[in-house]
A = this chain, B = another copy of it.
């Protein structure tokens, strides 16, 4: 029994300042002459303890270097005060090291950074801390399980975690799925869910090109990997072309292996080498590709937007710094992080068994020079996306 230590511990205050074992409530209690319950109350509910007693306890705690154990606290109170985020580790460390050497630090502004910032901020507002972990494989000792075991609820970037594992975990705590439509719908249909209006964004952007700029020969450059988000963009493009009376094929005009600047440059070379009439607009699945294309076009001596229009998707910072500035669709990543926390909090505070929520975040079409829009900064923007 712990109580035995009451009898003999701490011969004197002087001694106890040099404890080698980390101090606990028992030590603080002993030192300040109260019970452990009172020590606990000083931290959990200060007002329930007489001022005089409280001060005495706090003084002892300070003297001993006492910090409440989050683990013990969490165990006893069945909640941790921590929210979590699992995201994939996109970055190949080697590639990135090279990139940094080569000053390609744009890669620096990652998707996940924004979400992390958004979540951290929102979590803090609610008094929570944030636990983050990029996931690797599954298995009983997977990072996801580790995160899940340490938080009150967490968010997962789509396609990060085996759905089966998520299914199990989500039975015992709130989970929010980020981006990507709920897959299959078979298992995960009871998760809350946040996605971005990819379809609407690309649709509106394409409509703008066709109707406002009179373009009739667009080409769409997509990706080989079939992420639901990217697919939704293409469908938005298709739909806009159809309703705009522009004839295009059911498939992207080109699929690149990765969505990088380098691939964007290659894409331009490939497209321009094809016979037939040159496209008057290059619609890229993301900004990285589009920026690469800008470089390639310049090298080929083609002017943007006079000779050919270029658009991207994502709204990364770089998109407005290139020349010409890139017309694109901005994704509200920061907001996605905040929204995720709000959903989790909602589940945590009552609405445990409410119907699963699905939030569609609106995107913003940002019209800049690369599509021919000039300085009509404010006039040329609008938000799109149903709720």
Contact = CB atoms under 8 A, between A and B. Distances in A.
Interface centre among A43, A70, A93, A116 (most CB of B within 10 A): A70
Contact of A103 (B61, B62, B366): B366
Given A131-B130, A133-B120, A133-B129, A67 B106 contact: no
Contacts of A143: 124, 129
A132 interface: yes
B129 A132 contact: yes
A106 B317 contact: yes
Nearest to A148: B67
Given A131-B129, A133-B124, A149 B321 contact: no
A43 B149 CA distance: 13
A181 interface: no
Contacts of A67: 145, 148-149, 168-169, 172
Interface residues of A, number: 67
A89 B133 contact: no
A147 interface: yes
A147 B169 CA distance: 24
Query: For chain A, what secondary structure do more than half of its interface residues adopt (helix, strand, loop), or is it mixed?
Result: helix
A23 interface: yes
Interface string A71-104: 1111100001110000001000100000010010
A47 to B, nearest CB: 13
A129 B146 contact: yes
A65 interface: yes
Interface in A24-76: 42-43, 46, 58, 61-62, 65-75
A255 interface: no
Contacts of A140: 42-43, 46, 58, 61
Contacts of A110: 117
Interface in A170-223: 171-173
A114 interface: yes
A108 interface: yes
A277 interface: no
Interface in A118-176: 120-121, 124, 129-134, 136, 140-141, 143, 145-150, 168-169, 171-173
Contacts of A70: 71, 74, 80, 146, 149-150
A4 interface: no
Contacts of A121: 89, 93, 134
A307 interface: no
A5 interface: no
Query: Top 4 nearest A-B pairs by Cβ distance?
Result: A70-B150, A70-B149, A71-B74, A65-B171
Interface of A: 22-23, 42-43, 46, 58, 61-62, 65-75, 80-82, 89, 93, 100, 103, 105-106, 108-110, 113-114, 116-117, 120-121, 124, 129-134, 136, 140-141, 143, 145-150, 168-169, 171-173, 315, 317-318, 320-322, 334, 366
Given A23-B172, A67-B149, A71-B149, 15 more contacts: A46-B140, A65-B169, A65-B171, A69-B149, A71-B73, A81-B146, A82-B150, A106-B317, A113-B116, A120-B132, A124-B133, A124-B134, A124-B143, A129-B132, A318-B321
